[in-house]
Amino acid sequence: MSQKLSAVMKHLSPKRLCVSAAALFAIFAINDMLSIEAKATVPVADVSSIIELPSLPLMSFSEAGLVGQEQLKVINHKVKKGQTMSGIFTQLGFSQALLLKIIKHNDDGKRLTKVMPGTELLFHVDAKDQMRSLAFDPTDTETLRISINEGNEVSTEVIAHQLQTQLVTANGSITHSLFGAGKQAGLTDKMVMQLAHIFSWDIDFVLEIRQGDSFSLIYEKIYKDGDYVSDGKILAASFTNQDKTYDAVYFEAKEGEGAYYAPNGRSMKKAFLRAPLNFSYISSNFNPRRLHPVTKRIKAHRGIDYAAPTGTPVFSAGNGKVIQSAYNKYNGNYVFVQHPNGIVTKYLHFSKRAVKKGQRVKQGQTIGYVGSTGMSSGPHLHYEFVYNGVHRNPRTVPLPKAEPLAKEKMPAFEQLSSPLLAELQGLNGKLVAKR
């Protein structure tokens, strides 16, 4: 057994080990599904050694001085909301004196008072129902084990875990909904939102997504000792909307200040969001036929109507100042925002307004909630984009170009982006071949 593996084994109960074995299978299932590219992959450290799990016994307490003991009973307790450690000890039949002794033992013991709901507590109990150890993860990168020996002495041990990041690729094309396509590609809804957010200045995810639109992305999955912990960030992504392809690459122009840039180095962030509302409220039951351009009666009607459930948060499309926040019988609850360069955006029929006249608002800030107040036949957002007093289509109106990367940053950006973009292109190619 490798040293690393034995370190892992030390704090694993049989149950935890099962979990990690399952997670490993999941890794390989995802591997097949998403065709993880070896060259772009930071391998999960020591996966190979973890796979070669020995047969029983899976755990030895020799280090804790419990070797040769009778079989210990395992109790797995997930901390529920509102539960106290004292309550848990009582419920499991352990004394308050013992709890106090642990807490007073040292700073590690004291961490028992700060356990969050959802934490898994793993107790080992001897034949006399005495607690012999308690292990839990106070953070994603640590396991704390508290042991009680035969002489009733407390000792604590913190095992540090390294997080491993694995790069994963995924791609898909839309048949029914973006979330459906995401699911099919193995993405969580959260990851789909993260993907859509990158392109939310270029693509209207409420009205303009069509059957046949497609996406590819390279993103991080984070593992702890082979166990999946969470998804990380998207490193690069491509979205094809109505045959126009947008690419974006994550880049830190300054350390810790990452953002997404187009291949030419221009920021994906622009002065105005394409759809000023949280599309996840709508797209979950998206119907491509309903999203025919007919709904976008911009000329006839001087605005765009977004049918959406009452209560859907509506964002300010850009930075600006609220110049109207009021109610009348036509507009219902409405908000107007003044932006630089003679642009005003208008939002009508709110169920509830979230800003006051005179208030400064940031792009993406919630200014109200979809409703059906005023002259409205059903819950929707009526959105207008007015440029120098004339109603315009925000897509075609000339707007200041997004901030590009500084010239001296371009070589570093290109070095990072070119392999990622090549990878995306390969993924896009696979989708075309599948069609």
Q: By the criterion CB under 5 A, which residues form the site for Zn ion?
A: 303, 305, 382
Q: How many CA atoms lie within 13 Å of 139's alpha carbon, on the beta-carbon side?
A: 10
CB nearest Zn ion: which residue?
382
Minimum CB–partner distance for residue 383 and Zn ion (Å): 8
Question: Which CB atom, from 247 or from 305, has the smaller least distance to Zn ion?
Answer: 305
> 376, 377, 375, 395: which is closest to 385 by C-alpha?
395
Minimum CB–partner distance for residue 304 and Zn ion (Å): 8
Beta bridge partners of 63: none
Q: In what order do the strands lie in the sheet with 257-261?
A: 163-173, 214-224, 227-241, 244-254, 257-261
Question: Which CB atom, from 182 or from 379, has the smaller least distance to Zn ion?
Answer: 379
Minimum CB–partner distance for residue 208 and Zn ion (Å): 17
Question: Which CB atom, from 202 or from 384, has the smaller least distance to Zn ion?
Answer: 384
Q: What is the CA radius of gyration of the chain?
A: 28
State how far the Cα of 189 lies from the Cα of 209, in Å rounded to an integer.
17
The contacts of residue 232 (CB under 8 Å, 6+ apart) are 165, 219, 220, 221, 222
Question: Which CB atom, from 378 or from 429, has the smaller least distance to Zn ion?
Answer: 378
- Cβ–Cβ < 8 Å for 320, 338: yes
Minimum CB–partner distance for residue 414 and Zn ion (Å): 44
Q: What angle do CA 324, 327, 329 make, to 5 degrees?
A: 130
Question: Which CB atom, from 172 or from 303, has the smaller least distance to Zn ion?
Answer: 303
> 406, 358, 341, 352: which is closest to 379 by C-alpha?
352
Minimum CB–partner distance for residue 301 and Zn ion (Å): 6
Minimum CB–partner distance for residue 305 and Zn ion (Å): 4
Question: Which CB atom, from 16 or from 382, has the smaller least distance to Zn ion?
Answer: 382
Q: In what order do the strands lie in the sheet with 73-78?
A: 73-78, 120-125, 131-139, 142-148, 154-160
